[in-house]
Structure 1
Amino acid sequence: MGTEAKKAGKVLRRSSEQQKNEALRLMAKELLHHSKDILDSNRTDLKNGRENGLSDAMLERLTLNEARLRSMAEGIDKIIGLKDPLTEGLGEWTTPEGLRIARRSVPLGVIGIIYESRPNVTADASALCIKAGNAVILRGGKEAMESNKAIVKALQQGLSKSDLPAKSIQLITDPSRTFAASFMQANEYIDCLIPRGGAGLIKAVLTQATVPVIETGTGNCHIYVHEDADLAMAEQILLNGKVQRPSVCNALETLLIDKNAAAEFLPVLAESLVNEGVEVIGGEREKQISSSITIGEVSAYDTEFLDLKIAVKVVEGYDQALEHIEKYSTGHSEVIITDSYHTALSFQEDIDSAQVYVNASTRFSDGEMFGFGGEIGISTQKLHARGPMGLNALTSYKYTILGNGQIRK
């Protein structure tokens, strides 16, 4: 697989924007053409998932339907409309010796992606890699194996009708940990590894991989309701961030609220969450303020629930809120609700996460919402890429130097 990916990468690197766009168009077309096979395969995965005790949240992430399949194809169409990152010049200059140096965007090469549950990632990630000139080897979770096989078959058929190699996209179908470990250590073939999933998956990849890894995904995201917050706004953003899609990495996991606002705000916010089926977990102090709160362990503050659960803590003020976020944040997305301009600016300066919001939902932490046309993941690290990773994050650069006989003295 690595050899085939390297071969495909050489072709992709030299392919024109028009050739890549035509391949993407055919991939989207084949995705819809094979919709029955894909949805039948997805039903098999869902049946197996229920029998194996997958949670409702995991089943929701796994589910495909006609609307989601159309959305996947539309996502590829949007990527077609994006500017090819390899056509962008990154600067050019002439040295005192007369050397003309240019910095040019180039593909990363062969990208490996390890992910869980969500079969839509198979199409999204493949399309982004192709547009940026990269070959990709996918390793989805065993719970989505049949769905992923059907999707990759459709995408490869689209590629086979284009000028690009069908093996530009490949899927690992061996679910064993031994094979996964070999994949993560295939430095000769894989240029970059991107894991997408929960904390357990991310940790496993970071521990085992020798291939360079871009850490993504884990989202212990906080909402801090400042004493100068508007209650209606706080409630709206809290519910959107927690309830709209609780199984994703940009969903809220912890509610922090100033003690000066807690008596008025916390009962309202907690009751609204409970009415939406959310379990609100706090300590004795929080329980005394709102009977809707369930007494829980402090470890809840360290948990990415990915479910209809949220931790809550009353803080003494801004400084304690910062301390809490610094201790428990995974560097993904944090939001403050406040009418104080000074506090809002301070929060954006003080919080060192990839996305820092003022009075807006963390659910916007998404490549498409940021105008990138899609994403291959949300990087929570600082090297190479940070935040939603669009096309530019799937490239590197090289220097080309033009001379006329210069030698160094």
Structure 2
Amino acid sequence: MIDLKFLRENPDAVRESQRYRGEDPELVDALLAADEQRRGAIQVADELRSEQKALGKRIGQASPEERPAILKGADELKARVRAAEELQKSAEAKVTELQYKISNVVAGAPPGGEDDYVVLEHVGTPTEFDFEPKDHLELGESLGLIDVKRGTKVGGARFYYLTGDGAFLQLAMLMVAAQKAREHGFSLMIPPVLVRPEIMAGTGFLGSHAEEVYYLERDDLYLVGTSEVALAGYHKDEIIDLSAGPLKYAGWSSCFRREAGSYGKDTRGIVRVHQFDKLEMFVYAKPEDAEDIHQRLLALEKEMLAAIEVPYRVIDTAAGDLGSSAARKFDTEAWIPTQQAYRELTSTSNCTTFQARRLSTRYRDENGKTQVAATLNGTLATTRWLVAILENHQQADGSVIVPQALRPLVGKDILRPASKEA
């Protein structure tokens, strides 16, 4: 939710942000007008309440002869107060409605849409082979790691089973990520995957992304598409203690996405699926520390990509491709040999005070005054990483070398077709 004080003082910046995102800048003027009406309604209601309080004192001091006339006036004033309070309530609701329609103010992201990102860094060189490489699904099926056919039979399109060493490969990857998170001061959590509407709305996922979210109408609950949602709601309506530094959590959960509007895209394998597991970093911080923390989250993601030994690049996501809550987002994209392209594996977003303002998560500054916290998030490992691991580490005989960091937990150095197992 946008800060009204910032909006009043910097309307042009918010309009520019809306244009950068490809969203409606006229919402800014509508919100400014609604805010002015709200403040006017509050002033009228406050003045009438003061008048009513003063009249109450007069009633107590009035003579028996004066009292009937004053009481009649009090009844009329009471009706005016009630009407003014209803008008105030309506004006405040309009402001909130418009606040929820305006995305976070872009901070440093390039303007434009999905294809207008800026490449910040390449790490490693694209993997090349002296044989025709197989894609991740062909490898996964031949090695007994992935079963899409039975996943489709049981759950429908874009569901799958991770089987045998495939399950161990994912668990190893997530466990290495969990250990890395703990080493860097994150508290590991396994959060709920079902959340209330106010939590989902508070994180910004019920606006333009609503079609991506699974909704259980009978229970009025949503399935999370990322544990960011549950972690953002963890301190809802609380004043948290940031005096010793930011609060850092790492959420390990299954995630669910409808993938609405993506029909025909990445339908093969496990690139774009309805259910996957993920380890998500989430940080509550003072706003002035958010940019530095954002860089630290990106550095942790790069450490994890180094651990799985795949070439990748880092991009600065364009404003039009940001989620509504993000002011800036960096994606890391791994090279996928059979697609001859980089594909997203992780992202990290600085949401500034946007989510915490909606969820009323505050902290006390050095003067004891309550302030709205900043929130940030970043992915440290997820199921899609298996695509990059399998394709980049394959060998001519159809086997796959297990990255060194994962071997102790997978229990093998090389994954081989069943017929070639030693």
TM-score interval, smaller chain: under 0.3
Which protein shows a greater Rg? Answer: 2
